[in-house]
Amino acid sequence: MNCKHIKHMAALLLSGSMLLSAGGCLDLEEESAGGGRTESVPQATFEQSTITVTPTGETGTRLSASGDGTLTIDRRRRETVTPMGAEGTWTVFVYMCGSDLESEDGSGSEDLEEMQAAATGSNMRFVVQTGGAEEWSAGEVDPDRLDRFVICDGDMKKVGSEPGASMGDGSTLANFLAWGIASYPAANMGLVLWNHGSGSICGVCFDELYEDDSLSLPELGSALECVYPDMTDTFRFIGFDACLMATVETANMLVPHGDYMYASQDTEPGYGWDYTALGDYLGSHPETDGAALGKLVCDSYYDACVDCDSEEEATFSCTDLSRMDAFMQSWNETARQMYALTENPEQLAELVRGITGALNFGGNNKAEGYTNMVDAGCILENTRRLLPGAKDTLAALEACVTYCRNGERRQDATGLATYYPLCIQGSEELSVFRNVCISPWYLSFVDKIAYGADHEGMLEGYRKDLWMGEDSLFWSEDALETSDWSWAYWNRDQGISIGLPGEDGETHVEYDTEPYMDEDGSYMFQLSEESLWETDSVYNCLYMILEDERLLDLGADDDVYMDWDTGEVYDCFDGYWFALPDGQPLAAFIAERGEDYNIYAAPIILNGVDTNLRIRQDYDGYGYPDMTTTILGVWDGIDTDSGQAARTIRPLNKGDVIEPRYSAYDPESWEASTFVGSEFVYTGDPALEEFILPDGDYYYGFCINDIYGGETYTDYVIYNVEGEDVYYYE
């Protein structure tokens, strides 16, 4: 990337620092599940509501790999399909885990009102189970129990109430579905999982009453398998009114149980789905199919995002689950080609840069956390020059995704994401992925990259045979117990290191020219050819030296000059940094890189609560003479304990109180502490600028990110800012 500003430097020996201010209304005759006999469906009562089933762990899908990595897909399938109700009837089951979305914002209660506002007619009903929130705005809902409601044509009736249990437990979902299908069958049935979502690794439905326990993908598949014997047809759709659940791993788990998946690749606004539009459409179009309904859900969701000014990064897609097997076979063959490139360092580097440069979702930066969800189609598009099979696999993906709606910043989204370890934060992350990965060759590729991260880029000792052949550990229940393989790199945190001056980084980076300050006052280095092959990106890191000698982390940016042909890297530091209008610098970390914009995340305290300021910087032309910087809003990011992703960016309101939040480090022990700036009252103007930093000394260095997810930090140099001038120490 080119430098944003023109640097004015002079050599000077100075010192200085500056301390910042410290009942079912379906009364028509319905066809029974037995096929042929019709009878009226009885109104459920509290007495008959309890049905108990126990998930067995089976999901309806088994994947296995032959010795050469050929993928075998074994799914449970019905020989005959019989509708479970009269033609044109619909039941949409909503598994509403309220969590903080309800207890803080009342979003669940608002959606119950939307369902009541729908003109469903007598042929369509919502059947809802509530739970998972400390309190509910809707007075009919008991937060201490699992309440069940039927909403039909404006009428909402409580028809059941169960003892409290975790909505993040598969048995809770299985029991709701078993009861609902027995009590309210229809010719067409849909399922919506309502709550937070966090993609393929951490799943969906985080229950705040049970320490944010969530439904993993295997738990979800097992719950659906529980009710499979009681159904004579599949769900017309299985949807997620939750963030980040439109993934290939999710879709694979749903194939035996549904016709279509409706979900978002990215975060959702708190508003979520438009249930009035959904109910109205089914009320007036009872004959619709899953594809047409999916288009309606996509469009109405996007329209709702427009109404609340959150459409810029909106995504929503409708996936035909019947076409997933063809995509998975093609993806596996393309992943075989990915793995083959691990034998060629130069091509492997190009491949990984294509993957890490693909559109990704859910933060994926130091300030906000990582979900590691990357757009599958963008991966294929970015790497098709290297992978002969990418074109066919991309076509298979496009056949699966029958419809999608994307906002301005998500125009390249293709409808389904997949896992790639941009940064591994949780010690069990790779273990979880092994249980949901759709391809033995892709698992081998991802695992080999993780192995490389743990072995300083040395891949020679890696064994792919763990995932292939008769004794394959791919989707094996006892994989870790039966293998003599060392899983050390699976069982420890590999998150971003602090990267402080004096800390030892990775040792495998080699230089043709060691980092030094040239005569023009530019800090630079030149990578060796081998290290250049292993480099994914280079960022600059900045720390303010406080009066007590602590180091205040001001973040990381891509504002460096990088020559990918020669391996030369130069700093572009000019003393300017992101700041609030009152001049307080922000700890800004790059979160997203577009063709003509960057997105940054800056930790703040907003009205007394920790969150992250989202900042967009648009630029145009060489040297960026026409940059504009704008506050997009705030996003809480990824919970480091549960993996739960916050819903989408929230706008700031005039009068909000913002306090910049930083990490400060002791230079001797590297012990971290939190440093908070002064209060700034937001005026309602979202414009920001890069201001010259306060007078003082600053540590500046580079972070070299390698293709294995590792980081190496150069030595740091000291720059001094004095007024409009920037000096360096000889």
pLDDT digits (tens, 9 = 90+) for 162-215: 999 999 999 999 999 999 999 999 999 999 999 999 999 999 999 999 999 999
Confidence label for 239 from pLDDT (cuts 50, 70 and 90): very high
Percent of the chain with pLDDT over 90: 71
Q: Which residue has the higher pLDDT, 454 or 105?
A: 105
Q: Lowest-pLDDT range, 183-187, 265-269, 415-419, 640-644?
A: 640-644
Res 35: pLDDT? 34
Tokens matching residue 716: 């740091």
Alpha-carbon span 695 to 18, nearest angstrom:
6
Over residues 39-58, mean pLDDT: 63
Over residues 34-42, mean pLDDT: 34
What does the DSSP assignment read for 136-155?
Answer: -SSTT--TTEEEEEEEETTE
DSSP state of 44: P
Q: Which residue has the higher pLDDT, 23 or 693?
A: 693
Confidence label for 624 from pLDDT (cuts 50, 70 and 90): low
- Would you say the C-alpha torsion 140, 146, 151, 157 has a positive or negative sign? negative
Q: Lowest-pLDDT range, 44-53, 295-304, 677-686?
A: 44-53
Over residues 100-105, mean pLDDT: 94
pLDDT digits (tens, 9 = 90+) for 330-353: 999 999 999 999 999 999 999 999
What does the DSSP assignment read for 481-492?
Answer: HH--S--GGGSS
Tokens matching residue 147: 């309440």
Helices (H), ranges, 464-538: 479-482, 529-533
Report whether pLDDT(607) > 70: yes
Report whether pLDDT(432) > 50: yes
Over residues 667-695, mean pLDDT: 92
Over residues 52-63, mean pLDDT: 90
Report whether pLDDT(245) > 60: yes
HEC secondary structure over 239-251: EEECCCCCEHHHH
Report whether pLDDT(303) > 70: yes
Amino acid type, 523: Y
Res 429: pLDDT? 84
Q: Which residue has the higher pLDDT, 78 or 488?
A: 78
Closest by Cα among 180, 171, 144, 156 to 275: 156
What does the DSSP assignment read for 309-361?
Answer: T--TT-EEEEEEGGGHHHHHHHHHHHHHHHHHGGG-HHHHHHHHHHHHTS-EE
Res 494: pLDDT? 42
Res 113: pLDDT? 97
Confidence label for 697 from pLDDT (cuts 50, 70 and 90): very high
Enumerate helices (H) and strands (E) in the chain, giving the number of each: 16, 38
Report whether pLDDT(500) > 50: no
Other CB atoms within 10 Å distance of the CB of residue 682:
18
Report whether pLDDT(604) > 90: yes
Report whether pLDDT(1) > 50: no
Report whether pLDDT(477) > 70: no
Res 51: pLDDT? 79
Res 49: pLDDT? 63
Confidence label for 622 from pLDDT (cuts 50, 70 and 90): low
Task: Decide if 342 contacts 441 (C-beta within 8 A).
Answer: no
Res 625: pLDDT? 55
Over residues 474-495, mean pLDDT: 56
SS3 114: helix
Confidence label for 492 from pLDDT (cuts 50, 70 and 90): very low
Tokens matching residue 338: 């990915």
Domain 61-256+272-307 has CATH 1.10.3720.10: no
Res 40: pLDDT? 36
Q: Lowest-pLDDT range, 40-44, 69-73, 255-259?
A: 40-44
Res 44: pLDDT? 45
Confidence label for 427 from pLDDT (cuts 50, 70 and 90): low
Over residues 609-633, mean pLDDT: 83
Q: Lowest-pLDDT range, 222-226, 375-379, 402-406, 673-677?
A: 673-677
Report whether pLDDT(486) > 70: no
Res 46: pLDDT? 56
Report whether pLDDT(305) > 90: yes
The residues spanned by each domain of the chain are: 61-256+272-307, 326-490
Alpha-carbon span 569 to 357, nearest angstrom:
19
Percent of the chain with pLDDT over 70: 87
Confidence label for 296 from pLDDT (cuts 50, 70 and 90): very high
Res 33: pLDDT? 34
